Amino acid sequence: MAQGSSRSSNTPIVPQAMAALDQLKYEVAQELGIQLPHDGYYGHMATRDTGTIGGNITRKLVQIAEQQLAGQFRH
């Protein structure tokens, strides 16, 4: 991020996507058997668990993007 920029790296570029990303987080955690805190505070979770969730979310997002790109070039 350029110096002097006021946008936080946690600020979504597409705010409407936040609900879908949140849902994906819970789905991935459930698939992995990791219980997410109900209060939204992740400070008591193991770094390994949060990293595993984040890595799997990224993997799924890349897969979704690849499928969409592949669909664009089939015409």
Count up the domains in the chain and report the number: 1
DSSP labels, 30-64: HHHT-PPPTTS--TTS-HHHHHHHHHHHHHHHHHH
pLDDT > 80? residue 50: yes
How confident is the model at residue 1, as a pLDDT?
43
| Phi, psi dihedral angles at 22 (to 5 degrees) | -65, -45
Q: How confident is the prediction for the chain on average, in pLDDT?
A: 86
Residue 6, in any domain of the structure? no
Residue 7, in any domain of the structure? no
- Across the range 38-49, mean pLDDT stands at 92
Confirm if 15 and 8 have CB atoms less than 8 A apart: no
| The pair of three-digit structure tokens given for residue 12, joined into one six-digit string | 């979504």
How confident is the model at residue 11, as a pLDDT?
79
Q: Which amino acid is at 38?
A: H
Residues spanned by the domain of 57: 15-36+44-72
Residue 2, in any domain of the structure? no
